[in-house]
Amino acid sequence: MNSPLSPTKIILASVVTAAVVGSAFGFVGGFVAGSNVSGDLAAASLPQLMRRSPSGKTGAAVPKSEEQSIIGAVKRVSPAVVSIIISKDVPVMEQTMVDPFGGSDFFQQFFGGSGMRVPQYTQKGTKKQEVGAGSGFIVSGDGYVATNRHVVVDEAAEYTIILQDGTKHDAKVLARDPANDIAVLKIEGKNLPTVTLDDSDAIQVGQKVIAIGYALGRFSNSVSSGIVSGLQRSITAGGGGIGSEDLYDVIQTDTAINPGNSGGPLLNLDGRAIGMNVAIVQGSQNISFALPIKDVKRAVESVKKTGKISRPFLGVRYVPVTKELQQANQLSVDYGALVSRGQQPTDLAIMPGSPADKAGIVENDIILEVDGKKINDENPLAAALSKHSAGDKVKLKIMHRGETKIVEATLEERK
């Protein structure tokens, strides 16, 4: 950890994908009572518009306000949102005053034994100290906890989970996702409170959302709310001790996400998790991002089944083809993934022995489609491959030296 609050990642590059999923909003029709409404029509409407009051009398239904929905969701979910404390052995430094000349007779002669002393620091052992903090949420009653990988990236650190009631649990990191910013931890317990994981594919731009987390590593279970600002964003995020990485298909929100909130849930008004808070844009106003909850579900299920997070691996290095890249390199297409080496000599375009290598893909090929679906801003190559598992066979449409062809690759597990 670079700082006490390093678990929150900062966006290093601008958002690549500008695709915004349009939203359609319904509205509840008003019930108009008039002297010309027939008794049959009014009676037919009763089941939807009437409720039983505490006194037993039937009265008009009162819809929940947004405020009531948020309060209810927070009450239900907060017991399952946890604070993660990161501790590590750090050096204990002791200051002593020493003679800068080491008692030399030569300097004693010129300085007359003035007793000059300067401070010197020496290490006197180590002590356990908190070095960072993050958030997480319990996803099963037997103690599985989801959080960001960058929150628990330090393998030399120890992790303690604190529940809303102040209960502390030693946590074991079961798996860190090699391709996404997700990690799964385990604490001992039975019948623990849990966060229900919803369907992130049903999210709509403009819908109200809630974030809960350990804000600034000081304020546990802090709540903020906002809306979904965009969907299917692609970003490059860095910090948190894991360098930069590309994140695809993430949710953009204007909900306030602070250092320490990383790994906490992004909720809908029903109190169901639709995402995991992951990154902010430094210096921006209300631009934050969350991983879709479907990715978290897949990771947790993989850990429960195999003890690790399995990710498919093709073995290519690439850059997305855009209109600008097409014009600059006189390419025949403005979409796809151009197989290209990196800036370092070791950044090969094709990893030797990889599925891509075995399938005959070479540098400067353009991967146009995966299983018949075009590779573009809305469906980047990494996102298309993430829908598969190691061992799956995928059909890739590629452009090779100006000609298109179909090749088949068998995905392997990413190491």
Q: Which residues are catalytic?
A: 150, 181, 262
Classified as helix, coil or strand, 303 is helix
- Cβ atoms of 267 and 209 within 8 Å: the answer is yes
Could you tell me if 375 and 356 are in contact, meaning their C-beta atoms sit under 8 angstroms apart? no
How far does the chain reach from its first CA to its final CA, in angstroms?
A: 23
Contact criterion met (CB below 8 Å) for 250 and 382: no
How far apart are alpha carbons 281 and 259 in whole angstroms?
Answer: 12
Strand 168-176 to 183-186 pairing: antiparallel
Instruction: Look at the block and give the residue holding tokens 């970003």.
Output: 235
Q: Distances from the Cα of 271 to the Cαs of 50, 68, 262, 267, in angstroms?
A: 25, 12, 18, 5
Please say whether the beta carbons of 370 and 392 come within 8 A.
Answer: no
> CB count, 10 Å around CB of 91?
13
Residues contacting 106, CB < 8 A, separation 6+: none
User: DSSP string covering 65-78, please?
Assistant: PHHHHHHHHHHHHG
> Which H or E run contains 329?
helix 323-329
Four-point Cα dihedral 185, 187, 191, 192, nearest 10: -70
